[in-house]
Amino acid sequence: MDLIKASLAEISQAVRTKKISALEVTKFFLERSKKLNPTLNAFICFDETAELQATAIDQKIYQGENPGPLAGVPWGIKDMFCTKGLKTTAASKILENFIPPYDATVVSQLKKNGAVILGKLNQDEFAMGSSNENSYFGAVKNPWNLNCVPGGSSGGSAAALATRMVPASTGTDTGGSIRQPANFCGVVGIKPTYGRISRYGIIAYASSLDQAGPLTNSVTDAALALELMCGKDMKDATCSSQPVPEWSKNLNSSMKSVRVGVLKEYMQDGGLHADVQKTVEKSLSELKALGAEIIEVSVPLTKYAVPMYYLIAASEASSNLSRYDGVRYGHRSNFQSLANLELGEFYSKTRGEGFGEEVKRRIMLGTYCLSSGYYEAYYNKAGQVRRLLRDQFIAAFNQCDVILSPVTAAPAFQLQERISDPLQMYLNDIFTVSTNLAGLPGMSVPFGFSEKKLPIGIQLMAAHFQEQKMLNVGLALESISGMKGLVANV
């Protein structure tokens, strides 16, 4: 069996019918990952128990049990997800040696369905970044061009997948952190509706925006992975009790009478790279040829999405990251003696050393925006505009089934190109942050290459809890893109 080309369902089926053992599958991907990792830096660490996990799956099968729809499928886990007994760092010095005593709900769901955890994937520190250059463990490289960024913050998840170090990986998306690296690396990435996936055990960045999701090699894999990750969880009060449909079984690429919305605001501003412009136009004309109706829609407040997003994200981050105090877990400064130490100094020194530059910048911004006298004008105001933005999106989805847009204005940029100007870096997220603010599902599907041979994806968004519509259009795009199954050679 060609493990590089196989779908998640095919790998699992082969393992369950004993055509190949889970151990053989795990060994194959582990060996491949360890060979490629020095070039890409996609993994922060490997799970030493991976082969044991695989053997346990094989034993279950030999005892006549069904280990589940992911039987023996190795997964890479973004280092934002707590993994019991396995180091979880959020790519930060402050959590460099943190070993969680429990699994995130997503991780236990994957394990329950037969997945093997291969290791932890690199990312921007605390998921704050769009280039993966903010990792304490060094930048990840884009496998299509080693001088380019893989995107962020789930850069390791996307790079590992594009080179088939793993057949699937997890990501988190606060403002585009799944869709943007998926776009830069030529893989499928999904952020479902806010609340679809439990946030329990995922290191918190901005709680009202954070949502997990899968990165995969195909839309069909994504649909399956997503439905296994979603579902109500008593450990996360914001987790939705909406039933989780069997998206993978209901995939339908027929575009007859499907209404595809195009956001006026996203297309008229200019600033799109010519190759991205061409790719988006091609996707629209192809969908039209398949029977879809293309409709122009308008969400005027998307104009304010980036400032609103960074204000809210930084504010919530400053609050969430106050837990890193050097007391219960994580980095603590090396103090000679605690006896005469002032508590404030203890915290400040520990946190000043433990957090990286971008994380500190966002904590500072957020602290300011939440501080007395400024809360009303900043966080509160942003929340009000956020409600109006969400309502405009709801109205737009009365006119169309999905909204199609670029994921980013240009293909992957060079390493070091934007790191010195934070505001410029924030503008990378112009097309992705709105779905997080409005809580909508969004995905990135590879659809072409730039002249310089860098992947370009298409973003699809749908109304709350309408993931199926988005997946269906994604499948249609995938079937005409010629991108499915492409592997980046490094």
Question: Would you say 386 or 469 has its CB closer to another protein?
Answer: 386
Kindly state the number of chain residues that form the binding site for another protein, as judged by CB under 8 A. 75
User: Is 371 a catalytic site residue?
Assistant: no
Using CB under 8 A as the binding rule, the residues of this chain from 6 to 45 that contact another protein are none
User: Is 177 a catalytic site residue?
Assistant: yes
List 177, 248, 405, 434, catalytic entry = 177
Question: Would you say 128 or 365 has its CB closer to another protein?
Answer: 365
Question: Would you say 201 or 446 has its CB closer to another protein?
Answer: 201
User: Is 78 a catalytic site residue?
Assistant: yes
SS3 annotation, the chain? CCCCCCCHHHHHHHHHCCCCCHHHHHHHHHHHHHHHHHHHCCEEEECCCHHHHHHHHHHHHHCCCCCCCCCCCEEEEECCECECCECCCCCCHHHCCCCCCCCCHHHHHHHHCCCEEEEEECCCHHHCCCCCCCCCCCCCCECCECCECCCCCCHHHHHHHHCCCCCEEEEEECCCCCHHHHHHHCCEEEECCCCCCCCCCECCCCCCCCEEEEEECCHHHHHHHHHHHCCCCCCCCCCCCCCCCCHHHHCCCCCCCCEEEEEHHHHHCCCCCHHHHHHHHHHHHHHHHCCCEEEEECCHHHHHHHHHHHHHHHHHHHHHHHHCCCCCCCCCCCCCCCCCCCHHHHHHHHHHHHCCHHHHHHHHHHHHHHCCCCCHHHHHHHHHHHHHHHHHHHHHCCCCCEEEEECCCCCCCECCCCCCCHHHHHHHHCCCHHHHHHCCCEEEEEEEECCCCCEEEEEEEECCCCHHHHHHHHHHHHHHHCCCCCCCCC
Closest distance between another protein and the C-beta of residue 390, in Å?
A: 6
Question: Would you say 388 or 395 has its CB closer to another protein?
Answer: 388
Q: Name which of 238, 263, 210 is nearest 393 in CA terms.
A: 263
Contact code string over 447-476 relative to another protein, x by CB under 8 A: -----------------xx-----------
Contact code string over 372-401 relative to another protein, x by CB under 8 A: --x--xx-xxxxxxxxx-x-----------
Using CB under 8 A as the binding rule, the residues of this chain from 90 to 129 that contact another protein are 97-99, 101-102
Closest distance between another protein and the C-beta of residue 127, in Å?
A: 18
Q: Applying CB under 8 A, which part among 22-30, 176-184, 291-299, 436-444 lies near another protein?
A: 436-444
Closest distance between another protein and the C-beta of residue 354, in Å?
A: 10
List 21, 131, 153, 481, catalytic entry = 153
Q: Is the distance from CB of 145 to CB of 412 less than 8 angstroms?
A: yes
Tokens of 53: 């996990």
Using CB under 8 A as the binding rule, the residues of this chain from 174 to 193 that contact another protein are 193
Work out which of 63, 336, 344, 489 binds another protein, going by CB under 8 A. Answer: 344
Closest distance between another protein and the C-beta of residue 316, in Å?
A: 9
Work out which of 66, 322, 414, 479 binds another protein, going by CB under 8 A. Answer: 322
Is position 437 an interface residue for another protein (rule: CB under 8 A)?
A: yes
Question: Would you say 46 or 98 has its CB closer to another protein?
Answer: 98
Closest distance between another protein and the C-beta of residue 30, in Å?
A: 27
- Cα dihedral across residues 99, 103, 104, 108: positive or negative: positive
Using CB under 8 A as the binding rule, the residues of this chain from 189 to 218 that contact another protein are 193-195, 208
List 60, 78, 120, 141, catalytic entry = 78
Q: How many CB atoms lie within 10 A of CB 174?
A: 29
Using CB under 8 A as the binding rule, the residues of this chain from 324 to 343 that contact another protein are 325-332, 338-339, 341-343
Q: Applying CB under 8 A, which part among 30-38, 104-112, 140-148, 299-307 lies near another protein?
A: 299-307
Closest distance between another protein and the C-beta of residue 347, in Å?
A: 4
Closest distance between another protein and the C-beta of residue 159, in Å?
A: 28
Work out which of 368, 395, 414, 416 binds another protein, going by CB under 8 A. Answer: 368
Using CB under 8 A as the binding rule, the residues of this chain from 230 to 259 that contact another protein are 234, 237-238, 240
**Cα-based distances in Å from 393 to 16, 208, 283, 295, 483:** 44, 17, 22, 14, 30
Q: Applying CB under 8 A, which part among 62-70, 284-292, 357-365, 475-483 lies near another protein?
A: 357-365
Closest distance between another protein and the C-beta of residue 364, in Å?
A: 5
Active site residues: 78, 153, 177
